[in-house]
Amino acid sequence: MKSNKSVYTYILLIIGVAIFINYLGDRFFFRLDFTADKRYTLSEATKNILGSLKETVTVSAYISEELPQQFAQLRRDFREELIEYSNRSNGKVMFEFINPNIDEAAEQKTMQEGVSPVLINVREKDQVKQQKAYMGAVVHYGDKKEVIPFIQAGSAMEYALSTSIKKMTVENKPKIGIIQGHGEASPNSMAQVMQSLSVLYDAEPVKLDEVSINLANYKTLVIINPHDSFPPFHLAKLDEFLAMGKNICIALNRVDGDLQTLSGTEIKTGLEVWLQGKGVMVNPNFIIDQNCGSVMVNQQQGYMTFQSNMRFPYLPLIAKFADHPVTKGLTSVLLQFASSIDFSSPGGDITFTPLASTSEKSGTENLPLTFNINRNWQPHEFPRSGLTVCALVSGKLSGNMTSRMIIISDGDFPINGEGQQARQIPADNLNLMVNSIDWLSDDTGLIDLRTKEVTSRPIDQMEDGKKAMLKYLNFLVPIFLILGIGLFRYQYRRNLRIKRMNENYI
């Protein structure tokens, strides 16, 4: 009887502890994050944004309920993220989950809010069919509204939420000047860059020959892909801007490759001479890299003509980055006809920091140059390594105040194009451009969020010893774990048996 009472007491105690733990978990939410990039831990930027909220933020999550397992996990992750946002903001972030698939009226309301359905593949009875699903959110702050049309997993979830809140709460956005008048890329041709900048800045075109322009109103000037000459008066304006302690971001081409004529030519704008006066030499050469992109070429085989991708070393795929806020988290940036950057100190307190460079198998080719698309490249044709393609130069570049410049030796990498020529640029191309402007303009912390998520960790790039260790760990750890549990249970039961054999055991 006594034994039965003990069992019941033990069971009731377990139930009570379980209820208490669930209560604490509901009231005091926390997560343990063991990921290398801390993708499930709120960044300092997000904490600062939430800590400065003056009004309540309401997040309406329009996510379908009956989803396959891989998408149902997204719903749980988003709910946990919102709970943490609410806790960090002392309740100023409120949220609700709405199932748009309940009825037609709910679907109509969801689409009116700006969240459209997506088609997902669902496997049922060995068949794959498409299902309509909603996975978006709408963020409200006062009378302002931001739409997240599609929620992505991982740290991209935090970036979407934090930038949406920041965009609605920021006051008096700093101004960024996009220099025009020398054949530069227009703001309309850089849709992705301009959209990203609009979160924190007012980016607007600036012409240096306008008499009424006051450059002191701008945090940073940006020069992207100029083709025409800079007159001395305009270069003097840039010097005046640096003398105020302001910063400049430059992405320029020193050479141009024409795949129609298969020829390479030099580009001169006067900006390269001005940069050389600061110690920065963007050389008139073509970088070649064994790690590269490809071009589509027509090939003839008998009477048949077909297209195929050919590796083209003149399109270097940059994967070597400095440990710097501008390049932290980047994995690969695809450049087009880039040139090498060198530095020769002009004297004074000026420092040069390479931010991105080529692979261990790279080189340069000088003008005049004729491209051979079908060229069979050999390893010995890439004798150099670590050629700089993006650099930071800082110090007293003009006048007595410290200023900074970031120079990238390719003016095409952040350009989408216009009309039928428009295209999406790779994610890290966008990140490099916007990170550069962010770091020069304002230390918001969102620069870290943009590249927080690790997109690729290919195992074939690991050292052989590390790969072997991981392979044996994956194989042996479960076996030893099972053996350990078995030995523990065996010893426990053995001790219990001995105890029961004791004559004083009740």
The CATH number that applies at residue 107 is 3.40.30.10
Name the helix (H) or strand (E) containing 481: helix 464-501
Count of other CB atoms within 10 angstroms of residue 476: 10
Distance, in Å, from the CA atom of 485 to the CA atom of 380, rounded to the nearest integer, reads 56
In degrees rounded to 5, what are phi and psi of residue 83?
-60, -40
Residues 391, 353 contacting (CB under 8 angstroms): yes
Whether 235 and 285 map to the same domain: the answer is yes
For residue 207, the model assigns a pLDDT of 95
Count of other CB atoms within 10 angstroms of residue 328: 16
Confirm whether 506 is domain-assigned.
Answer: no
For residue 1, the model assigns a pLDDT of 46
Domain limit, last residue, from 168, 203, 238? 168
Edge-to-edge strands of the sheet including 247-251?
Answer: 202-207, 175-180, 218-224, 247-251, 401-408, 388-398, 350-357, 320-321
Whether 5 and 118 map to the same domain: the answer is no
Residues 100, 110 contacting (CB under 8 angstroms): yes
For residue 68, the model assigns a pLDDT of 76
Give counts: helices (H), strands (E), the chain.
Answer: 11, 24
Whether 261 and 348 map to the same domain: the answer is yes
The label of the residue with tokens 């990498």 reads 413
* Cβ contacts of 193-199, under 8 Å, gap ≥ 24: 193/414, 193/430, 193/433, 193/434, 196/430, 196/434, 196/450, 197/434, 197/437, 198/167, 199/163, 199/166, 199/167, 199/170, 199/446
Whether 115 and 47 map to the same domain: the answer is yes
Q: Which two tokens stand for residue 286?
A: 């073509």
Whether 251 and 359 map to the same domain: the answer is yes
Distance, in Å, from the CA atom of 149 to the CA atom of 233, rounded to the nearest integer, reads 46
Distance, in Å, from the CA atom of 92 to the CA atom of 86, rounded to the nearest integer, reads 6
User: C-alpha distances in angstroms, 12 versus 15, 19, 181?
Assistant: 5, 11, 79
Q: Which two tokens stand for residue 153?
A: 């997993």
In degrees rounded to 5, what are phi and psi of residue 321?
-125, 150
Confirm whether 350 is domain-assigned.
Answer: yes
Domain range for 470 is: 462-501
Q: pLDDT tens per residue, the chain (506 residues)?
A: 445 566 667 677 777 776 766 666 555 555 555 455 555 677 888 888 898 898 999 999 999 887 777 777 888 889 989 999 999 999 999 999 999 988 888 889 999 999 998 887 777 666 777 778 888 999 999 889 999 988 876 657 888 898 889 888 888 889 999 999 999 999 999 999 999 898 889 999 999 998 788 999 999 999 999 999 999 999 999 999 999 999 999 999 999 999 889 899 999 999 999 999 999 999 999 999 999 998 877 666 656 666 678 899 999 999 999 999 899 889 999 999 999 999 998 877 899 999 999 999 999 999 999 998 888 899 999 999 999 999 999 999 998 999 999 999 999 999 999 888 889 999 999 999 999 999 999 766 677 676 665 444 555 455 556 667 766 777 777 788 888 888 888 888 888 777 777 666 55
Confirm whether 25 is domain-assigned.
Answer: yes
Domain limit, last residue, from 153, 168, 183? 168
Whether 392 and 431 map to the same domain: the answer is yes
Torsion, Cα 385 388 390 394, to 10 degrees, reads 140
For residue 483, the model assigns a pLDDT of 81
Whether 207 and 164 map to the same domain: the answer is no
Q: Would you mind telling me the total number of residues written for the chain in this entry?
A: 506
Whether 156 and 73 map to the same domain: the answer is yes
Q: How many CA atoms lie within 13 A of 327 on its CB side?
A: 21
Whether 73 and 182 map to the same domain: the answer is no
Q: What SS3 class is residue 257?
A: strand
Whether 196 and 231 map to the same domain: the answer is yes
Distance, in Å, from the CA atom of 62 to the CA atom of 80, rounded to the nearest integer, reads 15
Confirm whether 385 is domain-assigned.
Answer: yes
Give bridge partners of residue 181 from the DSSP assignment: none
For residue 4, the model assigns a pLDDT of 59
Give bridge partners of residue 124 from the DSSP assignment: 127
Whether 344 and 450 map to the same domain: the answer is yes
Give how many domains the chain has, as a whole number. Answer: 4
Whether 431 and 497 map to the same domain: the answer is no
Residues whose CB falls within 8 Å of the CB of residue 491, separated by 6 or more in sequence, listed in order: none
For residue 308, the model assigns a pLDDT of 73
For residue 191, the model assigns a pLDDT of 94
In degrees rounded to 5, what are phi and psi of residue 404?
-135, 150
For residue 454, the model assigns a pLDDT of 44
